[in-house]
C-alpha cells in the first residue's frame, strides 16, 4: 500500500509531499515525544501524532518514516509545512484520533496480507 | 584518512534550525550510496546530539568524518557539562526545561537513543567547561 492509497482509504486529507505519495507504507507507530519516535519507530512506518511543529518534520526525515498522519485535525505550524514541502515529507490529516486511525490502518494491513 | 570531512556549527536555542546539519549529512551519505540503515542510524544519533547542544549548551560544533566502512561524528560544546553521565544515560532521565517539553523533546531518550544507534559512543565532560561526544557508526555494505 502506498501513502496515496493509505490517504484514500483513511479518507485523510493530503497536506504535503506530493512527490512522496508513491512510497510504500509498512507498519505504524504512534507517539508525540520525538525521541521516543526516533528510538522506536521503524523505517517506512506510518507515524500517527498530534505534534505538528518543525521538529516533527526533522524527525520524520531522519527516522525515515513513510508519512506523518496528524490525527484529531492537529494543527501544522506554517514553518513546519514549509519545511515539509521543501523536504517532500508526506503529511496527511484526519479528524479521527490516533486509536481509531490505528485500527483502520491495522485492518488495511490485514486485508493486504 | 577520511573520504570526506564536514564541519557544522549548531546555534544555541534555535530549535527550528536543529536537524539541518544531520539532514545535510544524511543527504550526503545518500548521494555517496551508503546503506539506508547506516544512514538512518547516523542521522538520528547526530540529531539527538544536536538537540542536546541546543537545549543544554547554547550550541556547539559538529565534525563529521565519512570513511568507506564507518562514519565518525564529534560534537563539542562549551556548555555546563554533564554532572552524572550514568544517570543521563538512563531512559526517561531528563533535565530539559518545560518549554522544550512542549516541543516534544525532553523525554529523557536522547542519550539512550544515541547509544542505541551507534557502534561506539564516548562522552568527555567537564563541569563548567563543556562536553565532547565521539560517535562511530559502522557501515556494513
DSSP state of A20: S
Could you tell me the residue range of the domain that residue A48 belongs to? 3-112
What separation in angstroms does the CA of B2 have from each of A96, B45, B70?
Answer: 49, 20, 9
pLDDT band at residue A103 using 50, 70 and 90 as cut-offs = very high
A13-33 average pLDDT score: 97
Q: Do A56 and B15 touch (CB under 8 A)?
A: no
Smallest CA–CA distance, residue A1 to chain B, in Å, is 21
Q: Do B40 and A64 touch (CB under 8 A)?
A: yes
- pTM equals 0.92
Lowest-pLDDT range, A35-39, A62-66, A70-74, B98-102?
A: B98-102
Asked if residue B140 has pLDDT above 90, the reply is no
Q: Judged by CB atoms within 8 Å, which residues 45-104 of A form the interface with B? A: 51, 53-56, 58-59, 61-64, 79, 87
Question: How many residue contacts between A and B have a Cβ separation below 8 Å?
Answer: 68
What separation in angstroms does the CA of A12 have from each of A16, A56, A65, A79, B39?
Answer: 12, 19, 17, 21, 30
pLDDT at B141: 66
pLDDT at A95: 98
Could you tell me the residue range of the domain that residue B81 belongs to? 4-138
**How many CA atoms are closer than 13 Å to the CA of A1, on its beta-carbon side?**
23
Number of structural domains found in chain B: 1
Number of structural domains found in chain A: 1
Smallest CA–CA distance, residue B38 to chain A, in Å, is 11
Q: Angle of helix B36-56 relative to helix A54-63, nearest 10 degrees?
A: 150
pLDDT band at residue B64 using 50, 70 and 90 as cut-offs = very high
What are B43-61's pLDDT values in tens digits?
A: 999 999 999 999 999 999 9
Percent of chain A whose pLDDT exceeds 70: 100
Please check whether residue A23 is in contact with residue A46, taking contact to mean a CB–CB distance below 8 angstroms: no
User: Which ipTM score applies to this complex?
Assistant: 0.86
Helix H segments across B1-136?
20-32, 36-56, 85-88, 98-101, 110-117
pLDDT band at residue B17 using 50, 70 and 90 as cut-offs = confident
Q: How far apart are CA A94 and CA A97, in angstroms?
A: 8
Q: A35: domain CATH number?
A: 3.40.1390.20
pLDDT band at residue A20 using 50, 70 and 90 as cut-offs = very high
pLDDT at A7: 98
Distance between start and end Cα atoms, chain A = 11
Of B19, B36, B108, Cβ closest to residue A55: B19
Of A36, A43, A79, Cβ closest to residue B40: A43
Query: Taking all residues of chain B, what is their mean pLDDT, rounded to a whole number?
Result: 94
- Classified as helix, coil or strand, A94 is coil
CA B3 to chain centre: 20
DSSP state of A71: -
| B22 vs A: CB within 8 A | yes
Other CB atoms closer than 10 Å to residue A109's CB: what's the count? Answer: 16
Can you read off the three cell numbers belonging to residue B48?
A: 539527538
Q: Do B47 and A58 touch (CB under 8 A)?
A: yes
Strands B120-126 and A46-49, sheet pairing = unpaired
pLDDT at A72: 98
| A13 vs B: CB within 8 A | no
Lowest-pLDDT range, A10-14, B1-5, B38-42, B84-88?
A: B1-5
| B81 vs A: CB within 8 A | no
Amino acid at each position: 500500500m502506498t501513502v496515496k492509497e493509505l490517504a484514500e482509504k483513511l479518507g485523510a486529507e493530503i497536506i504535503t509531499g506530493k512527490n512522496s505519495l508513491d512510497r510504500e507504507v509498512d507498519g505504524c507507530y504512534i507517539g508525540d515525544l520525538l525521541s521516543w519516535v526516533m528510538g522506536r519507530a521503524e523505517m517506512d512506518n506510518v507515524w500517527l501524532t498530534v505534534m505538528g511543529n518543525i521538529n516533527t518534520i526533522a524527525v520524520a526525515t531522519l527516522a525515515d518514516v513513510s508519512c506523518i498522519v496528524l490525527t484529531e485535525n492537529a494543527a501544522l505550524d506554517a514553518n513546519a509545512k514549509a519545511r515539509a514541502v521543501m523536504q517532500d515529507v508526506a503529511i496527511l490529516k484526519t479528524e479521527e484520533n490516533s486509536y481509531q486511525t490505528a485500527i483502520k490502518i491495522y485492518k488495511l494491513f490485514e486485508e493486504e496480507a | 584518512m577520511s573520504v570526506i570531512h564536514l564541519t557544522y556549527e549548531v546555534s544555541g536555542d534555535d530549535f527550528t534550525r536543529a536537524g539541518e546539519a544531520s539532514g545535510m549529512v544524511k543527504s550526503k551519505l545518500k548521494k555517496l550510496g551508503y546503506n539506508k540503515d547506516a544512514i538512518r542510524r547516523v542521522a538520528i544519533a547526530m540529531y539527538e546530539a544536536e538537540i542536546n547542544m541546543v537545549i543544554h549548551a547554547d550550541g556547539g560544533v559538529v565534525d563529521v568524518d565519512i570513511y568507506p566502512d564507518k562514519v565518525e561524528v564529534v560534537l563539542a560544546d562549551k556548555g555546563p557539562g554533564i554532572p552524572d553521565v550514568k544517570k543521563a544515560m538512563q531512559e526517561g532521565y531528563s533535565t530539559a526545561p518545560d518549554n522544550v517539553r512542549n516541543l516534544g523533546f525532553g523525554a529523557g531518550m536522547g542519550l539512550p537513543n544515541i547509544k542505541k544507534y551507534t557502534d561506539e559512543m564516548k562522552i568527555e565532560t567537564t563541569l563548567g567547561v563543556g562536553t565532547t561526544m565521539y560517535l562511530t557508526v559502522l557501515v556494513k555494505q
